[in-house]
A and B are shown apart, each in its own frame.
Chain A
């Protein structure tokens, strides 16, 4: 990395609390996410990695009885600022989940309908956006002849790429990916990883993964989230090789498998 990328997203003292039980899902997490790079988030299950992602695009707001404190800034602006429209924020920060969600309808509709609703796409540029998104998701060649087929006829791997294409159609600057290949077979995983790497230069990507090898393949930077006293805390972050090969924190060491 010859250039030092600026931090597009900064997380400061983020804590997430469940109102009823008082349990802290995340405790005092601070993280910097550099622009145009892939930041990986690793850690054991239950450590709050998905929660962290949802805080960044404010999907956490949809969960009832949750209290969020701390600050998240996108490009310098507080995402909870008075003038921020959460729906617009979620368009600018795309998210892909572990289980691909396919909407009712054709492949074409799945990719473009949200962007159409929002107004980014109209009849004039729909074909173009459709093709660009599907190409970027490495799915165009496989479906270009059957855009009018029902989306649920695709294989799971293809559906996940469809989900990526759908997110890309909204032109997000940031992509959040929550275990994007956990539900896929090895071949589909490889394609999706290739897709993610291909998107790196033009977007900022955060990938949550529990597979360390995947982190090594994809991430430039790495953050390790571990569960301490039942809450997720950030134990270590830094350049990917550093974290994986020479981790400083005991938890990271345990995760990575280094003795001592």
Chain B
């Protein structure tokens, strides 16, 4: 039975690899470095999408990681057991809300707020569907994931370490910052990596608020413009359009392949970090 699963997984990977071959061969490295994507002319440069995915994920992490880790510190180190359980439940239920609902909230609320913020700060934007908007929405989505994993990481530090630190006369904040957090650092980084993986891989919510515009510049001001990520492209109509055009199909598959590799890399890195702590102990 497990063999079936493994076979399925292997088959899928091979399919992806094989499928992307022709497009990659046709474009070469230009696939990754140019940002011109005109499928009708068979021009496939994915750079803006790579930029888009990276920008949106990084933005999400910048916003979410400090809050998530601070919340995790509170949950793990500063509250009573009952409160911690209640909070952990709330955070995990938050993480379980379907992405399409987050997308809906983004479309119906976030868009307007971003619009008003753009006006307040006099940002010249055509609409509020931008990379920035997608980044903010992703931050909210990824927050509970990172928080709960960070909480697990902190809980993994043995009680004796905290006792010894307080016994030396260090305050609780000093104990947390100088003893607990460094000890939990690899697992905390793992939590952030997994959050990154989730942010990069998120399709539906991003699709709804990112604007889905191709061929944009790779620059900082572009964050205030509509953009495209690997996932929003794959989730759009081109996937269906590509059927029948082998080169186009292959290009789409390549996008999927890149996405998969990035997310898998983040997942494996996070695992390796978590295993490292187990060994040091």
Contacts and interface: CB of A to CB of B under 8 A. Distances in A.
A114 B80 CA distance: 26
Contacts of A62: 162-163, 166
Contact of A104 (B80, B81, B164, B179): B179
A84 interface: no
A103 B179 contact: yes
B163 A170 contact: no
Interface residues of A, number: 27
B182 A97 contact: no
Contacts of B171: 87
B183 interface: yes
Given A104-B182, A113-B178, A94 B163 contact: no
Given A64-B81, A113-B178, A117-B174, A101 B169 contact: no
B168 A90 contact: yes
Interface centre among B160, B167, B174 (most CB of A within 10 A): B167
A99 interface: yes
B82 to A, nearest CB: 10
A91 B182 contact: no
Contact of B166 (A90, A92, A166): A90
B167 A57 contact: yes
B185 to A, nearest CB: 8
A25 interface: no
A97 B166 contact: no
B170 A59 contact: no
Interface in A56-81: 57, 59, 62, 64
A222 interface: no
B182 A167 contact: no
Contact of A59 (B80, B166, B179, B280): B166
Interface string B168-208: 11110010001100110100000000000000000000000
Interface in A104-142: 104-105, 113-114, 117-118
A166 B163 contact: no
B182 A87 contact: no
Contacts, number: 63
A105 B185 CA distance: 12
A167 B168 contact: yes
A88 B169 contact: yes
Interface residues of B, number: 21
A218 interface: no
A12 interface: no
B116 to A, nearest CB: 45
A87 B164 contact: no
A64 B166 CA distance: 15
Contact of B165 (A64, A89, A105, A114): A114
Given A64-B81, A101-B160, A90 B167 contact: yes
Contacts of A91: 168-169
A243 interface: no
Nearest to A53: B167
Contacts of B185: 104
Interface string A138-176: 000000000000001000000000010011001000000
Interface string B147-168: 0000000000000111111111
B168 A94 contact: yes
Nearest to A58: B166
Interface string B79-100: 0110000000000000000000
Contacts of B163: 59, 62, 97, 101
Contact of A97 (B80, B164, B179): B164
Contacts of B179: 103-104
B280 A114 contact: no
A87 B166 CA distance: 7
Contacts of B169: 87-92, 114, 118, 170
A67 to B, nearest CB: 16
Interface of A: 57, 59, 62, 64, 87-92, 94-95, 97, 99, 101, 103-105, 113-114, 117-118, 152, 163, 166-167, 170
